[in-house]
């Protein structure tokens, strides 16, 4: 029997919200997204079921490379459900507001905009609540991120990386390779990684402590096998779920050692 990761569920104004406890990954129910966007549920479901279909509005094309379901299973009343990942849901609401001018979509963007900008600025500046700054866990996490970049190392062969990006989009590294990073670690990375007008000049793994690299290598080797075997994006997500969550084989344990 597969293991279902624990999640937190809450409902407000008919909209269900979900957060995976282990990873912080968030999602919203299909019905909830319909309410947030002002698009009726049947139409939205038809659009999401086949984004490449000729009947789907052209302005929804940005969603084609985004994840349409979580990497984790969620059950409600004994049945599997597929809430929409938060990033995809927000992009959908934004596109609806931009193209259909739905008042519900504008209201949603206004509601979460201030919170989102506040969180973004806190992340960029590396701010943490005092309780987190003083906790042993946070100090340990910060120690895992190096101030100075180590030499670059190739983890994925170029053709394999190209396939991964083609399957899952340009955010493949963040969504899968480095999904284990905590918010504390992400905040420090924003501070220590050098940035130019053209973008970052160093890579995430160059700031990860040497003690952690062997674990990262083992994990990425297994991830590479899945990329090689994947026939399409959904096939990859299914294999990823089975490999790292259903069988409880996730090896990126930063609290060890």
107-161 confidence digits (pLDDT tens):
999 888 877 777 767 666 666 555 445 445 544 555 778 888 888 888 778 888 8
pLDDT band at 219 (very low <50, low <70, confident <90, very high): confident
Residue 79 falls within a domain, yes or no? yes
Kindly report, residue by residue over 28-42, the tens digit of the pLDDT.
999 999 999 999 999
| Orientation angle between helical segments 183-192 and 103-125, nearest 10 degrees | 70
Q: pTM (2 decimals)?
A: 0.53
C-beta of residue 77 within 8 angstroms of C-beta of residue 20: no
Question: Among residues 149, 150, 219, 152, which one has the least CA distance to residue 181?
Answer: 219
Residue 252 falls within a domain, yes or no? no
Neighbours of 230 (CB within 10 A): 19
Question: Among residues 155, 254, 154, which one has the least CA distance to residue 209?
Answer: 254
Residue 130 falls within a domain, yes or no? no
Number of domains composing the chain: 2
Question: Among residues 138, 112, 114, 111, which one has the least CA distance to residue 126?
Answer: 138
Domain boundary among the residues 62, 97, 125 is at 125
Domain shared by 69 and 48, yes or no: yes
Domain shared by 20 and 99, yes or no: yes
Domain shared by 155 and 55, yes or no: no
What domain range includes position 217?
Answer: 136-246
Residue 254 falls within a domain, yes or no? no
Domain boundary among the residues 125, 157, 190 is at 125
Q: What integer pLDDT is reported at residue 249 of this predicted model?
A: 40
Domain shared by 114 and 141, yes or no: no
Domain boundary among the residues 101, 125, 149 is at 125
């Amino acid at each position: 029997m597969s293991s279902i990761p624990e999640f937190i569920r809450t409902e407000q104004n008919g909209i269900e919200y979900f957060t995976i406890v282990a990873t912080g990954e968030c999602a919203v129910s299909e019905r909830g997204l319909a309410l947030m966007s002002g698009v009726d549920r049947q139409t939205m479901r038809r659009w999401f079921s086949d984004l490449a279909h000729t009947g789907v509005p052209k302005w929804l094309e940005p969603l084609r490379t985004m994840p349409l379901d979580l990497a984790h299973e969620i059950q409600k009343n004994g049945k599997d459900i597929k809430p929409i990942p938060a990033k995809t849901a927000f992009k959908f609401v934004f596109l609806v507001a931009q193209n259909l001018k739905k008042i519900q979509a504008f209201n949603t963007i206004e509601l979460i905009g201030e919170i989102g900008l506040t969180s973004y600025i806190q992340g960029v500046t590396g701010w943490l609540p005092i309780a987190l700054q003083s906790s042993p866990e946070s100090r340990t996490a910060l120690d895992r991120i190096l101030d100075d970049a180590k030499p670059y190392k190739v983890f994925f062969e170029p053709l394999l990386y190209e396939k991964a990006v083609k399957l899952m989009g340009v955010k493949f590294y963040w969504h899968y390779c480095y999904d284990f990073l905590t918010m504390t670690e992400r905040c420090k990375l924003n501070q220590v990684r050098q940035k130019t007008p053209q973008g970052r000049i160093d890579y995430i793994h160059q700031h990860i402590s040497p003690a952690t690299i062997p674990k990262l290598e083992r994990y990425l080797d297994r991830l590479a096998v899945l990329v090689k075997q994947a026939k399409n994006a959904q096939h990859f997500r299914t294999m990823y779920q089975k490999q790292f969550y259903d069988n409880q084989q996730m090896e990126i344990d930063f609290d060890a050692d």
